[in-house]
Chains A and B, each alone.
Chain A
Amino acid sequence: MENLKEIALKILEEACETDEVREDEELDLFEAGYLDSLGIVSVLLGIEEKCGIRLQPTDIQKEDISTVTNFVKYLEKKVQY
């Protein structure tokens, strides 16, 4: 079972189309231009693909994926249900 953080990083990598997101876990991905509306959709699809959880755009707030750290926390919460 792959560790959740690794899954989170893979999802973000795919959504942002770069592995640079691994470098700084506190970087605001929106401000840095790595994520936008389409990125959010990609993250949702990634969560569905890798964690089997189907979410809607309003199930995720901007703060939940603004940094790697926040996203890992968000995934932990979601996977628990």
Chain B
Amino acid sequence: MIPFTQYGSLLIIYIFTLLLIPAIIANLFQKKIKYYGIVLSIPMFILLLGLDSLAIKLFCVFIVCELILIIAYYYISKKISSEFVYFIVLGMSILPIFLVKLSVYTRFSGVGFIGISYISFRIWQLIIDIHDKHIEKLSFGTIIYFITFFPTLSSGPIDRYERFQQDANRVIPRTEYLTEYLGAGLRKIGKGIIYKFGFAFLINQYIILSLPDEHTIKTIIIYMYAYTLYLFFDFAGYSSMAIGSGYILGIKVMENFNKPFLARNMKEFWERWHISLSTWFGDYIYKRFVLNNMRNGLFKNKKNAARCGNMVTMLVMGIWHGPYLFYILYGLYEGIALVITDIYMKSKVYKNFKKRKYYNWLSRVVCFHVVAVGMLIFSGYLFSI
């Protein structure tokens, strides 16, 4: 099993932060930090996946195979422009994660390794960008570094290759590094620690774990609020630590959360919660679904295309979490919530409501509850009765 959970304890974070010191020294000597980053990756993978475990073997095989696929596709796409090849390559790269996710229903349950879901996004993004002719130059080392960037290995944030390689290949001037990367990075790690080991821990320890096993209306309601807040602090805390570590390594990893509970409607919520995931889904699934289906005439009406796009995108997001009924229901719920939000935001009720003084706080309270019900479904609590 996994010897260490990434950012799982204060000791691990302390050791991890110490291991980042050579990155600071590298910048001091005005060298590209990425060389140290790549070198540090290897002990980090061993720490996260084990030295002789099934996980690390699968990880290596997976990375090598996907890399061969990416590089092969890059050279093929320079010679032939074929949609068929594109779909085959994409299909082949999706196959491993598809099998791993389904393996829970077979006797091979233990197959897989941490981070496979998130690494896959980076791989697919590369393949799609190669197809769209966005990648001018393929640098072998930077590609591996991008796909396996260890601060964001287990749960993201999900970065984009072009942006990442610009950061990685840059030598950052010392004062800029000190304030914008090191200082900011340490602050983010600190914030992450407070969120995850402070708030999330307290909510889990004193509320969630003290709930009785029996599910009643009362426990469901308490669990709903507690879990929603716990999930936020835990995930935002993890993200903050991952982003902060990325900064110290010279990479301005994108933010994952932006005060999500201030959202006044579900559309705004998804611009503030798990931002790297929702923008990835927005760019690579939603927009392409709507664009392609309006081009091929499946939808004549923009509104219908958009609403269908929302349903499809949210369903995919739900299922991506795992092959369980409650994830699918969660996807359906979020899709329907977005469609209703779209109808609401085009209505006269909304246009009048927006002008009222109490619009902001009332919308936020309602939105929070819509979110909380979704998180309740997502938690699977209702299915473990």
Contacts and interface: CB of A to CB of B under 8 A. Distances in A.
Contacts, number: 36
B291 A38 contact: no
B287 A40 contact: yes
Contacts of A57: 283-284, 287-288, 291
Categorize the interface residue count of chain B.
Answer: 10 to 19
Interface stretch (A4-12, A20-28, A41-49, A72-80): A41-49
B283 A45 contact: no
A59 B132 contact: yes
Decide if the interface of chain B is mainly helix, strand, loop or mixed.
helix
Decide if the interface of chain A is mainly helix, strand, loop or mixed.
helix
Contacts of B191: none
B290 interface: yes
A56 interface: yes
B100 to A, nearest CB: 27
Contacts of A40: 287
A44 B295 CA distance: 10
Contacts of A48: 295
Contacts of B306: 38, 41
A44 B291 contact: yes
A37 interface: yes
A37 B295 contact: no
B195 interface: no
Given A38-B302, A41-B287, A45-B291, A58 B267 contact: no
Most buried by A among B283, B286, B290: B290
Interface of A: 36-38, 40-42, 44-45, 48, 56-59
